Amino acid sequence: MNILKETNFKNLGKKYTGKVRDVYVQKDKVILISTDRYSAFDRNLALIPCKGQVLTEVSKFWFEQTKDIVPNHVIDFPDPNVVVGKKCTVLPVEMVVRGYITGVTGTSTWTLYQKGERDFGDFVLPDGMHKNQKLDKPVITPTTKHEAHDRPLTSKIILEEKIMTPEIWQKVSDIALKLFARGQEVALKKGLILVDTKYEFGLTENGEIILIDEIHTPDSSRYWQAKTYQERIANGLEPENFDKEFLRLWFKDNCDPYKDEKLPEAPADMVTELSRRYIQICEQITGIPFKIESGDIEKRIENNLQAYKI
């Protein structure tokens, strides 16, 4: 199966390489190409077939579903792996919204809760909670965006360090919670629980807040199947998930992904399974049968971006 590891296109603008996306910056727009790179623990771990296409198609669906809440950066989707967006000033905070207490990474609420943390700055959790339990109401646990490793933030830190103005912070907080409420509502109609997610925002030249990057994808969000959630929790099982958690867990069990210089190769059957999950969740969310693109992906993208050459 075709895999898109990276791109190296000429005449599309200055290239920046993110964890998952190759970004080409032009005077008034950015071209975001989703590759099949799989990232967790602040590093790339594997290549997952069809992943980039899934991220783009799922974002396309959600941008359409939420544009009445906040404008987004989308100008065009010229290719199954590509979004062309408006250039803007990126706000330096990732807005992480959580509806449940869960996770395995060092910064996850469940990991911190297990270590005895109850006061998270902007909210306090009671004793006696169990993993994967629904929170009384969604919470925001923001992190830095432009630092080498995500740093947990609170509204106090954001305002004291002047990372955002009080007005912008209040606005993006309100928007993030509205987006999450819409996401949970729409996802539930598709038989899914939107567990947590992250949003990124930018400011246009006119100071308008817009949603950028991606929205409610299996990379930026955690999903569980709704119909089996209660029964599995009651039986002490993990929820039926369709995100990348199981491969995260494998790496956590087989190495120290934060410290080991060289990591083991992801098992082939797990890579295949994760690709299947990405495709299934794309179909479940969008309601559209997934079309696996054949041929040379890089060449196809290059052809579809001819109009954007500079």
Q: What CATH number is attached to the domain comprising 228?
A: 3.30.470.20
Confidence grade of residue 1 (pLDDT, cut at 50, 70, 90): low
In a domain, 173, yes or no: yes
Residue 59 lies in a domain: no
Q: Could you tell me which residues come within 8 angstroms of residue 289 by beta carbon, excluding any fewer than 6 positions away?
A: 283
Instruction: Report the pLDDT value the prediction gives residue 148, as an integer from 0 to 100.
Output: 65
Residue 41 has what pLDDT? 81
Beta bridge partners of 221: 197
Numbers of helices and strands, H then E, in the chain: 8, 14
Is 297 a member of any domain?
no
Residue 209 lies in a domain: yes
pLDDT bin (cut points 50, 70, 90) of residue 18 is very high
Structural domain including 226 reads 90-234
Q: Is residue 187 part of a domain?
A: yes
Does this model's pTM top 0.85? My answer is yes
The predicted-structure confidence for 19-29, as pLDDT tens digits, reads as follows: 999 999 999 99
State what percent of residues in the chain have pLDDT above 70.
98
- In contact, 146 and 152? CB cutoff 8 Å: no
Would you tell me how many other CB atoms lie within 10 Å of the CB of residue 184? 18
Asked whether residue 222 is domain-assigned, the answer is: yes
Q: Is the pLDDT of residue 310 over 90?
A: yes
| Domain presence at residue 14 | no
Q: 110-156 pLDDT, tens per residue?
A: 999 999 999 999 999 999 999 999 999 999 999 998 766 678 899 99
At 180 the pLDDT is 98
The verdict on residue 27 lying in a domain is no
pLDDT in tens, 196-239: 999 999 999 999 999 999 999 999 999 999 999 999 999 999 99
At position 47, the amino acid (one-letter code) is: L
Q: How many domains does the chain have?
A: 1
